[in-house]
A = this chain, B = another copy of it.
Amino acid sequence: MNTPVYKPTCDLPPGFRASGVHAGIKADPAQYDMALLVSDVPDTSAAGMFTTNRIQAAPVKLDREKLQSGYARAVVTNSGNANACTGPQGMADAERMCALTAEGLDVEETDVLVCSTGSIGKPLVMDPIENGIPHLISQLTAAGGSEAAKGILTTDTRPKECSTEIIVDGKTVTLSGFCKGAGMIEPNMATMLAYVCTDAVIDPEPLKRALRVAVDASFNRISIDGDTSTNDTVLMFANGQAGHATLTSDHPDWRLFQTALNGLVFELAMKIVWDGEGMTKFIELRAEGCETDADADRAVRAVANSFLVKTGWAGTYPAWSRIVDVLGYCGINVNPDAITILYNDLPVLENSVPSAPNPDKLDPILASNRYTITFDAGTGGDGSAVLYTCDCTEEYVRINMF
């Protein structure tokens, strides 16, 4: 079991329960709009990573403050309203969601976190939420991971879940999670939220470090539309029920745990790209030959967020010429005479000269729903980066017009 295997369902670790319900925030009774995830263990280590947007939703501000302690054991979520740009009333509403949940669960209010996702700038309508919380608590089960995964969705077309197991000190450790987002970043409806839970025994500080490593290589490497949300949140809970020796970086299975966590969070992040608003193609974008990794990162983000490149991917336009254009204006050093671009392994531009590849080889790649584009900026440097992104279609425009 040294290579973790990932299942596409959220099978909660022992000591966790979850639920999802339609509370009435959304008009359609078939759509869930609230979720609850609870650890039954009082001292559950918890860590979070949040949006870097300077405008932050009330729940983000509240959770960030609460996680200073390193411990939390529940998170209540509503979808349909982001509780952002809602002023002091928004903070009061977020606090009330935590208080009602804590009361119903009979836990400390400091142990309860809150997330919201949906439209910005409208006050929460609290009636359905206040009725929804006892409903969520009554529905909590150990098998409820998939129900909770439904409760957090907005423009997503499907739930996004993942689970894996590893052996630490001879004990089975489960990691499982779920997330939502149809843009990495969407201020209206598709804020990115992700929850990871494990029964691993791990203190708050190493948990936080492990989560950061996993998020940097996954959620921080995707882009749907380049807009960073006011609500992006990743939360992780570890309740210690697996009973192995406490995981630290000195533990012989530390690397295995980090690898399993990386893989789980990466799977969740890829599910967001594959459900990008209106997307029809998944693009793995690799930069090489940049002066620094920072330059390579800047280049892949600029390419992934170019209207022209993204719309070219949607059709059959050979977007490589637009990629060259972006490399020229994105502010990094490039060698204009030594740029090389590959589609999968097929060169389309070599040392800035078009390769005129055989259409029999290129056309099937352009028509496929997943391919890799690698570009070399020609500087001779070893700066590199990867970003996972998707095309921009007419459907993306339709989704976001109204």
Contacts and interface: CB of A to CB of B under 8 A. Distances in A.
Interface of A: 52-56, 84-85, 87, 119-122, 183, 186-188, 225-230, 305-308, 311-312, 314-318, 320-322, 324-329, 334, 336, 339, 349, 352-354, 392-394, 396-398, 400-402
A301 to B, nearest CB: 12
A305 B119 CA distance: 20
A85 B120 contact: no
A54 B188 contact: no
A60 B120 CA distance: 45
A120 B188 contact: no
A400 B312 contact: yes
A87 B352 contact: yes
30 contacts: A52-B329, A53-B328, A53-B329, A54-B329, A56-B336, A87-B353, A119-B321, A121-B320, A121-B321, A121-B354, A122-B354, A188-B312, A188-B317, A188-B321, A188-B322, A225-B306, A226-B307, A227-B325, A228-B325, A228-B328, A311-B396, A314-B401, A315-B401, A315-B402, A316-B401, A316-B402, A317-B402, A393-B397, A396-B397, A397-B397
Contacts of A53: 325, 328-329
A227 B307 contact: yes
Contact of A225 (B85, B228, B307): B307
List the 9 shortest-distance A-B pairs measured between CB atoms, nearest first.
A315-B401, A55-B328, A187-B325, A120-B321, A228-B329, A53-B328, A311-B400, A394-B394, A225-B307
A377 to B, nearest CB: 10
Contacts of A321: 84-85, 119-121, 187-188
A54 B339 CA distance: 12
Nearest to A186: B308
A187 B121 contact: no
Nearest to A85: B324
Given A311-B397, A315-B402, 5 more contacts: A56-B328, A85-B352, A187-B325, A228-B328, A229-B325
Contacts of A354: 85, 121-122
A194 to B, nearest CB: 19
Nearest to A339: B55
Contacts of A84: 321
Given A227-B307, A315-B401, A354-B85, A336 B187 contact: no
Contacts of A87: 352-353
Nearest to A278: B397
